[in-house]
Amino acid sequence: MIIFMATDKTIKIIKSKSWEICVTRPGYLQPKLIVLRAETTPFKITPKVVVKIKDDLWVKGANIFNVQRRNEAFGYFKKGFEEDKNWPLKIYKRFKYDEKEAGFFIGKIKNLKETDKVGIFSEYNSNLLKIQNYYAIAEVLADYCEDELRGKNNDLLKFAFPYSKLDMENFESSLRRIKKSRNKDKLIQNHVKEFAWILTGYNIVKIYKKKDVLNEVKTVGKEAVRLEFTGESQEAYLLKSLQIAIYIRNRIKELSQQLWFYIEPISVAIAKDFGISRNDFFQLTYEEVVESMKKEKCTVSGNEIARRNDGFICGFLSGKEILITGKISRELYDYFTRVDEKKISEIKGVSASKGLTRGRVKIITTPQDFKKFNKGDILVAPMTTPDYIILMRKASAFITDEGGVSCHAAIVAREMKRPCIIGTKIATRVLKDGQMVEVDADNGIVKILK
């Protein structure tokens, strides 16, 4: 770990690069740094083509990356397809193996009582790194295929669904069974146990309860119908690659949520050994946790942990790992997220599911925001993950800062037949709670109504 002090030179280097906000999401230093380490680990897609990411940072709650990354990745994919049109399928098979290994580990830690804490925490770190490494290609591969397919035939995007079944689909099926059953109690109990992790993200754990299930059952929809594609071979390989990217991208999120949820008791126990709070524990890097375990005390000062709680910048700058803590992170967060709201009367994005509706905005960025959401509100979020499903059932439309047709919000919107506009980049920063807007998802426009 290279820890930079917040020197003027370092800040100048950061500001000199062209960044794009990928997503804004609350969370602790520990999971965010593990995720960025995984995403910036070189990823081999064919024997001759390796994807490399050099710039990727969390600035407080914003994940930013160099805007050149997308174009560079597209170049990697083009070379990969020239070498082997089936390389995404080979990546999928590799991912399924790693997914299985992560599943074994999750099964192991679900019911652990006495264990080797160092060993288990190391296994957790290893599994999270391995799974998140696929994110180096999954999101941008979906964007690449989407661009290529849209240039050939816009109708092909109606086939943009996951290559294999996700837990999200099993979640929906379980709710439908509960809705049809007369004796719901046992089914609800099993459902809550199986999907206990559904509200967890970046080590922020919210308990999934019976009342959540009862609310969801009221609005659960019919099973989505998948169309069979019988088109040209060139379109077929791109479509299959898109579906693989959609599956891997969303499955990464599901597995990560489960890892974060089930490691919670071990983490709480280790924090207790260190004499610190569980929240402070998640502000330690993996190396600091291991070192502290060896010395049987927390090796990071209380002042430094306080600085990390105040804010942090972590990740990779020109290929070098950095960590900057304290006040400067808040200043840089404001610098990267600033928007001149006075000049904006409408927001543009990409239509992921068509439709036209009006409603009141609710900005949802943390699980704590869920309680303010009412039926018919328009869900506005940086991105959505499986924990947002509860709200998505009640929403009249979805608007997100990030995403393409492969993102979670897009998939759910098409299944629920809700208007959805994704990739606005600025919706959560411009729109306000209670504001009336018109969501024109036919044209990808959100109009702010006076």
| Digitized pLDDT (tens) for each residue of the chain, 450 residues in all | 555 556 778 888 898 888 888 777 888 999 999 999 999 999 999 999 999 998 999 998 889 888 888 888 999 999 999 999 999 999 999 999 999 999 999 999 987 766 788 899 999 999 999 999 999 999 889 889 888 887 676 666 678 889 999 998 899 899 999 999 988 899 999 999 999 999 898 999 988 899 888 888 877 777 766 767 666 677 788 999 999 999 999 999 999 999 999 999 999 999 999 999 999 999 999 999 999 999 999 999 999 999 999 999 999 998 889 999 988 898 898 888 887 666 788 899 888 888 999 999 999 987 778 889 999 999 999 888 777 888 888 899 999 988 777 788 888 888 888 999 998 888 988 899 999 999 999 999 999 987
> Under 8 Å CB-to-CB from 290, ≥6 apart: which residues?
118, 121, 122
In this prediction, residue 154 carries a pLDDT of 61
Domains of the chain, residue spans: 8-156+232-335, 167-219, 341-448
- Of 180, 347, 201, 183, nearest to 260 (Cα)? 201
Query: CA 31 from chain center: how many Å?
Result: 12
**Beta-bridge mates of residue 324:** 313
* CA dist., res. 319 & res. 56, Å (int): 9
Q: Find out if CATH 3.50.30.10 is the number for domain 341-448.
A: yes
What does each C-alpha distance from 65 to 68, 198, 268, 335 come to in angstroms? 8, 27, 32, 15
Host H or E run for residue 346: strand 346-348
Query: Which residues lie closer than 8 Å to 442 by C-beta, 6 or more apart?
Result: 351, 354, 355, 356
CB–CB of 172/223 below 8 Å?
yes
From CA 397, how far away is CA 315, in angstroms rounded?
34
Query: Exposed e or buried b for every residue in 271-283, given b needs 16+ CB within 10 A?
Result: beebebebebbbb
Query: How confident is the model at residue 316, as a pLDDT?
Result: 93
Q: Checking phi first, is residue 160 left (phi over 0); if not, alpha (psi -120 to 50) or beta? A: beta
